[in-house]
Structure 1
């Protein structure tokens, strides 16, 4: 059972990806980090919030898109060797974009953070795409996914951590600094500092997009690949029938993943910072349920036949989803610009972000509402250039 059926366009994937990118920008750019509603901030350690679902949903959708792109190229007669080079080139370009953004605004080489969101996207994309090109058999890909999840749990649960001891015996299980993932992150950063003369960890002693936790992140992407295989395999002449069937299957499987993740969390807590296997199942299950809903609404009939209200809701999501990497990179560049540009205020020179937020949004004091208002403004600010590209049908493909 392999993915060989003709590929059609699934608006549900584009809509959910655009919604995910918009929410990612929203939670990354509040007006005041001390005034943020709890659901719009990450869980400190164990546990989860709605914000913790954003990144895995994006990786899940990357996996879905891999299936569509690879099948399309193979159907056009692109050689596998050329396809492999395209995959590696794209992953490298995404990584270089991340490094260039990370170097701004002063281009100091010494403390560049190699890990990060775009780095993880690049690695997970490359790994999942290469696996899919190597074998398009869903059973093999499912076995690799299970092996990654179980193997990661075994590593964190049973492998002693140098300087700390056995997890759950000498040191609390999933101790923030005394776990194998954080230990390897520090070791990798020490190596890059010594040999590349650069490197930094987001949390100082650990990184939420670190080295070892990339393995379960690849599993998240492979869940998307498996979903993409199902979508293309079931795409038949009667789109409405296949859409309803897929939506039901995705909802049931998604609910099962959520329940399994919650059950596993008793022994392997849900933790976004470490990207634990229970977190993969929980976030992947919720992403599946979200895709099931979008698939039911947007893929059952041609775009022009849908109700005007449905098209109006989907349109901004399609705009963001059509140039997702551009929108995310633009938000990072704007954030750097707002924090770097200085303006003269009554109490001296202030960053443009601080001055504009206090002058326009928080004149009566900073609150959760004013902080959220700034975040919404920032999303709109990123939307306008992305919409201009979409209007001209310019879709940036790295």
Structure 2
């Protein structure tokens, strides 16, 4: 069947799978004893974990291929008001999440030391620029922009720095614009933001790839020919990505152009498989687990992050509640690696259960 409902089933499941994995990789019981597949590449390279964020951007674009239709017959002012409002809300939520719990040592946590860019902020920026491009430019122009953005980004990094952690242009621009105190310091204490402003440029292409994939599916229907064409397109992007990797390595933290092509290709391949499993076959009841995540995506992601931060802020028996629960309950019982994984699964299932209650009560939080 080619109903809109089934198309949204594919999207909800894909989005839900990504959110579930995102929570797991963000909440290891012990980061040092996590399985390698659940860790980001240290610098150059690619792991399953590195696929999580670009996939989130891809499904944002995929969802836009449906939602942008309702703006076809509205004024430019109405469109801009809606898009900028959504951008501002998502960006602000991301900033407040990094500022949370707002108070420290009896006083307000200094805003001057709060990270400005981050995951939700990148989603907001990519959504904003992709929306403007898709609204005001023709398909051919957007595709040309995408290609030029990837090439230009490579050139900018070469001209204004190198591809190292401490010498890249992404770091230099962020330091100039916002200062080191507002940047992420998780790379051995080095002030470098993997969601920096400059590297948002190639990330926009992940959203655009998701959008055009969704439009292609809607135009051509859910059939074997569509699946075959998607798989061929995915293969081409992956091959070009590996070729580009020879001179501009896969690098999630720099969001390299080769990384964009590789992740977009993988995502197109996955959505093609899901079309067959969910829309051309009888999916069965297993999809509901992921639909729960897909129906309240932003809320559940925020919930998971605030849950993790809260556990890390609560003191328990000389350590944090996060570490005490992970070490005493999970790692002590199942060992370093499996215990760490089980703790992450506990976080994920807890968030799922809240999402489940919301779904059963018909509560869906959108921005």
Q: Does 1:383 align with 2:366?
A: no
Task: State the secondary structure of the residue aligned to 1:63.
Answer: helix
What CA distance in whole angstroms lies between the structure 2 residues aligned with 1:160 and 1:318? 44
Matched, 1:24 2:9: no
Counterpart residue number, 1:238: none
Secondary structure at the aligned position of 2:57 is classed as helix
Residue in structure 1 matched with residue 261 of structure 2 by the alignment? 281
Say whether the 8 Å CA contact 2:126–2:207 is kept in structure 1: yes
Residue among 32, 35, 45 paired with 1:34: 32
CA distance in 2, matches of 1:97, 1:15: 24
State whether structure 2 residue 198 is matched by structure 1 residue 212: yes
The equivalent position to 2:76 in structure 1, one of 74, 77, 80, is 80
> 1: CA distance between counterparts of 2:24 and 2:160?
39
Match of 2:62?
64
Q: Describe how 1:249-288 pairs up with structure 2 within 5 A.
A: 249-288=229-268
User: For each residue in 1:172-225, what CA deviation from the matched residue of structure 2 results, as whole angstroms up to 9, or x when unmatched?
Assistant: x412111212211221222xx8xxxx6233443311000110000011111111
Matches within 5 A, 1:72-111: 72-74=70-72, 77-105=73-101, 106=103, 107-108=108-109, 109-111=111-113
Q: 1:337 aligns with which of 290, 306, 310?
A: 310
The verdict on how the C-alpha distance between 1:11 and 1:364 changes in structure 2, with shifts beyond 3 A counting, is closer
Residue 78 of structure 1 aligns to a residue whose secondary structure is: coil
Q: Does 1:185 align with 2:174?
A: yes
Query: Separation in 1 of the partners of 2:74 and 2:229?
Result: 32
Structure 2's unaligned 5+ residue stretches are none
Structural mapping, 1:107-122, within 5 Å: 107-108=108-109, 109-122=111-124
Query: Could you tell me how far 1:249 is from its partner in structure 2?
Result: 1.3
Q: Give me the TM-score of the superposition, normalised by structure 1.
A: 0.85
Does the 8 Å contact 1:111/1:199 carry over to 2? Answer: yes
Structure with higher helix content = 2
**Residues 1:365 and 1:245: Cα distance change in structure 2 (over 3 Å):** closer
Q: The residue matched to 2:266 in structure 1 has which SS? A: helix
SS in 1 for 2:286: helix
State the partner residue of 1:165: none
Secondary structure class of the residue paired with 2:31: coil
Q: Which residue of 1 aligns with 2:132?
A: 130
Q: Where does residue 354 of structure 1 map in the other structure?
A: 323
**Residue of structure 1 aligned with 2:291, choices 304, 307, 318:** 318
> Are the aligned partners of 1:27 and 1:375 in contact in 2 as well (CA < 8 Å)?
yes
Deviation at 1:365, TM superposition (A): 7.7
The corresponding residue for 1:367 is 336
SS of structure 1 residue aligned to 2:114: coil
Distance 1:147 1:7 in 2: 33
Matched, 1:300 2:273: no
User: Does the aligned pair in 1 maintain the 2:95–2:117 contact within 8 Å?
Assistant: no
Match of 1:175 among 161, 164, 175: 164
CA distance in structure 1 between the aligned counterparts of 2:87 and 2:284, rounded to whole angstroms: 33
Q: Could you list the runs of 5+ residues in structure 1 that have no partner in the other structure? A: 1-5, 162-172, 236-241
1:200 is matched with which residue: 174, 179, 183?
183
In the TM superposition, what is the alpha-carbon distance from 1:369 to its structure 2 partner? 0.7
